[in-house]
Amino acid sequence: MKVGEAIAEIMKREGVEILTGYPVNHLIEFAAAKDIRPIMVRQERTGLHMADAISRVTAGRKIGAFCMQHGPGAENAYGGVAQAYGESVPVLVVPMGYPRRLAHVDPNFNSTVAMRHVVKSAEPVNLAAEVPHIMRRAFTRLRNGRGGPVLVEVPSDMWNEEVPEPLDYTPVCATRYGPDPADVRRAARLLANAKRPVIYAGQGVHWARAWDQLRRLAELLAAPVTTSLGGKSSFNEEHPLSLGSGGLAISKPVRHFLDQADVILGIGCSFTETNFGVRMPKGPAYIHATLDPMHLNKDVRAEIGLIGDAGLTLDALLAELSGLVDGPRDPAPVAAEIQAVREPWLAEWMPKLTSKDAPLNPYRVLWDLQHTVDRDNTIITHDAGSPRDQLSPFWRATTPLSYLGWGKTTQLGYGLGLAMGAKLAAPDKLCINVWGDAAIGFTGMDFETAVRERIPIMSVLLNNFSMAIELKVMPISTEKYRSTDISGDYAAMARAFGGYGERVTDPSEIVPAIRRGIRKTQEGVPVLLEFITSKETAVSRL
């Protein structure tokens, strides 16, 4: 058995069904022979984003995989690997490498060395007989502990080496670990005695599929719940105890309750300090429940640390609290306070959310989008910059994994690949990416990939012909040289690629265009709806 065949066979045994990539990497042919569907992208970063989404949407039940050629392919892929690392997403990355005799010769790009700081592990295949062991280590790291990409580099002179048969490989186990019972008891007492507890839920709740336990804990304590962008949709945002999500843009209930909390339970989160995350107050006592002990006390001082799987941690807290709390507390006072804060905040934004202006207000476009789609059967993601800030505070996610949020590292163009990967993982869902005219400049050519590979996503483009959020920091260059101006007829581009493209300028046509777009995706056609918008720069920052 050749090295490439052995790797493909191991991937198949591990449940990998799709391999995104860009040639030449011989794994593509070996995978296709094993009925693993290869999807070829226009640029490496988009392929990694697609693999990222496959892992996310299945909460790690299916592992996304990506491969690329040595040299320039691996160099171009670096950003996508770094993005997955920043968002703690398990992705198998299989670059081809230079021949072993040249692997460490300057200036050759050695993926094992160069990407070591943005992966959980990086290992080359230098002996064919070691393939089962190398892949066993790779999948063990992918399925256990904090998520992140794992890299296996295959030198170009290794593909035809022989792996001993029969192939000695059994799929790896996925394990969980839970917190110290003594710490759970301390945390439960602190929560039971808190006057104004708040639960801050991160992406770890998704990976643990601990949505039900999160809801039960919130209802037991009558504690309001907010989420990080990565944790958004882990708690139904139509629930009376939901505050919404926190990021650079934030709803008033999130800020109000965090600032008045006496205890904050962070569950499945890192509390990473970032310009695109919610600012945590200094006064409350923090219970930090995280899978990675390296995150404990990193940016927020923890009163109590609970190290382990979010589901096991929530189970333990619920069991301990059952002896401290006499049944679910009355949620009515907290729910009333949430509404009393939310309603005037929302009223302040209603003129933008329902604006009849032309050019269109982007808030109006996204408000109409939310009220036109079936949110229970939609997966939506944003792009960096204005689309993220305009979508996240107002979009109310109702079902788990229906919103793919991100923001620790904010590469433009991430959303398109996420939407395509989401559609591959959940073909019955309407999968939407919202991006701006800057982001489409980074990955827009891969809309052709959606057409060619028959991935019927709906791409919502907010086009204001400008780098609007940069206007305040680039006034001279804008006035003298128009440095923030960008342009394009992107609906025409979509049609040229063979998809459905429509440009919308009239507010009364927003909803009809969305409905036409949905119908086209149901017919199997990728859709790009281009909304011509104003240079809106207002953001809900509190």
Tokens representing residue 490 in the block: 């992107």
pLDDT in tens, the chain (542 residues): 999 999 999 999 999 999 999 999 999 999 999 999 999 999 999 999 999 999 999 999 999 999 999 999 999 999 999 999 999 999 999 999 999 999 999 999 999 999 999 999 999 999 999 999 999 999 999 999 999 999 999 999 999 999 999 999 999 999 999 999 999 999 999 999 999 999 999 999 999 999 999 999 999 999 999 999 999 999 999 999 999 999 999 999 999 999 999 999 999 999 999 988 999 999 999 999 999 999 999 999 999 999 999 999 999 999 999 999 999 999 999 999 999 999 999 999 999 999 999 999 999 999 999 999 999 999 999 999 899 999 999 999 999 999 999 988 889 999 999 999 999 999 999 999 999 999 999 999 999 999 999 999 999 999 999 988 888 899 999 999 999 999 899 999 999 999 999 999 999 999 999 999 999 999 999 999 999 999 999 999 98
* Sequence-distant (≥ 6) Cβ neighbours of residue 339 within 8 angstroms: none
Under a CB-based contact definition with an 8 Å cutoff, are residues 52 and 121 in contact? no
DSSP 8-state assignment for residue 223: -
Compute the chain's Rg from CA coordinates: 24
The highest-level CATH class for domain 354-532 is alpha beta
Under a CB-based contact definition with an 8 Å cutoff, are residues 54 and 424 in contact? yes
Residue ranges, comma separated, of all CATH 3.40.50.1220 domains in the chain are 181-337
Q: Cα–Cα distance between 113 and 301 in angstroms, integer? A: 34
**Which secondary structure element, helix H or strand E, spans residue 311, and what is its range?**
helix 310-321
Summarised one tens digit per residue, pLDDT across range 258-302 is 999 999 999 999 999 998 899 999 999 999 999 999 999 999 999
Question: What angle is formed at CA 27 by the lines to CA 21 and CA 29, rounded to 5 degrees?
Answer: 95
pTM of the shown model: 0.96
Q: Cα–Cα distance between 391 and 406 in angstroms, integer? A: 12
Across 107-141, b (16+ Cβ under 10 Å) vs e yields: eebbbbebbeebbbbbbbbeebeebbebbbbbbbb
Q: Pick 181-337's CATH classification: 3.40.640.10, 3.40.50.1220, 2.40.10.410, 3.40.50.300.
A: 3.40.50.1220
Architecture of domain 3-155: 3-Layer(aba) Sandwich (3.40)
Residue ranges, comma separated, of all CATH 3.40.50.970 domains in the chain are 3-155, 354-532
